[in-house]
Chains A and B, each alone.
Chain A
């Protein structure tokens, strides 16, 4: 309470909102890139292997490297590093789910689309992409959580606001209570996000599993 009174609800809401905005934006960029790479994955065997290799590379690069490089490139006060690092963390998680979904997607679903006279675009739009919804919902849950956690770290390294920035600020002031309080806010936000949005989304998407 003392902490809340000292920071003021405006500061808490502003910095929490900033972190949520950056991590969500980064997640959406990573998600969109994963979907595009997923479509590339379906085009031919060479591109399929290229996408697989790219995902392996992305998964094996440490988040710390991304953060340091992005802060060096865009500067300490830039809002971009937290957004981009959230995108780079989300991308391989979502792409792995897309690739797994495509690998297990029924050949018969493609045959059915062909028999019904669907064009390639109609097949993607009406059959393939919606069929990935259950695995994408699970990946969204993991990726958005990871994006939030990692963008906070990026904010701590270099940013002008956000939960991570506030934690780093209190750390530099040697005030562990402030660090702890912002840590509690972060955990609370993550739990609320998961329980109120991501878990119901995943349950709803499970209905979209095709009987095969």
Chain B
């Protein structure tokens, strides 16, 4: 039997806001070194699920088991426009009291991984949306989380930038043994790069399908997913 290290287990999570049930018994798992895509329609509770995993919201029922530190990259970049990209990325490291050499080493490593080294001395308003998104990811990545939660990281990016970003994300997961959870509303956008995919139903959200894509070649992934979905009569 294949051995994989469990990084995250979401067990039967329910969440309501007032009378509005958002998550209706969601369960899923994620392992170290893989990219897990959570896909669902707008308003399906994807962001709420990530916020619960990151500890920013409490579930009404159910539980989250984390093996390591989980940090969320918000859908909005939230880069501080009064600080250069380098200083934005350094923030969490400074608060942790790391020495300057270590801060610089981590910033250089993360910026090389994400391909933003030449933008480090620019301000956020001087760079493209794709670079700003990568900088927002780098700001969290330098804190060395075991589980990186990305809330719609592809929103507002063109197709080429999306592809490049997803390739970087996949590389980080596989080479650094990180668990990366990406939520998006588009199956097509993430199918090529995800190792596994959970598909949420229309709200209140449940897991409608769980598809393992690791052994499937990129060109066969979408047909496989659509076949799984049609069998569910979504």
Contact = CB atoms under 8 A, between A and B. Distances in A.
A108 B95 contact: no
Contacts of A209: 81
A106 B95 contact: no
Interface string B190-204: 000000000000000
Nearest to B72: A115
A206 to B, nearest CB: 10
A210 B91 contact: no
A211 B79 contact: yes
A94 B72 CA distance: 35
B173 interface: no
Contacts of A115: 54, 71-72, 92, 140
Nearest to A119: B95
A122 B78 CA distance: 16
B119 interface: no
A131 B78 CA distance: 11
Given A117-B95, A126-B91, A208 B78 contact: no
A111 B92 contact: no
B80 A116 contact: no
A130 B79 CA distance: 12
Contacts of A130: 80, 82
A109 B76 CA distance: 10
B78 A126 contact: no
Contact of A116 (B82, B95, B125, B132): B95
A118 interface: yes
Interface residues of B, number: 24
Nearest to A114: B56
B125 A108 contact: no
A117 B96 contact: yes
A131 B91 CA distance: 16
B76 A118 contact: no
Interface in A8-58: none
Given A111-B56, A122-B95, A116 B78 contact: no
Contacts of A117: 92, 95-96
B134 interface: no
Contacts of A208: 81-82
Interface in A43-76: none
A54 B95 CA distance: 35
Nearest to A115: B71
Nearest to B74: A108
A116 B144 CA distance: 12
28 contacts: A106-B76, A106-B78, A108-B74, A108-B78, A111-B56, A112-B74, A115-B54, A115-B72, A116-B95, A118-B95, A122-B95, A126-B80, A126-B91, A130-B82, A131-B80, A133-B82, A207-B123, A208-B81, A208-B82, A210-B78, A210-B79, A210-B80, A211-B77, A211-B78, A211-B79, A211-B132, A212-B76, A212-B78
Interface of A: 106, 108-109, 111-112, 115-119, 122, 126-127, 130-131, 133, 207-212
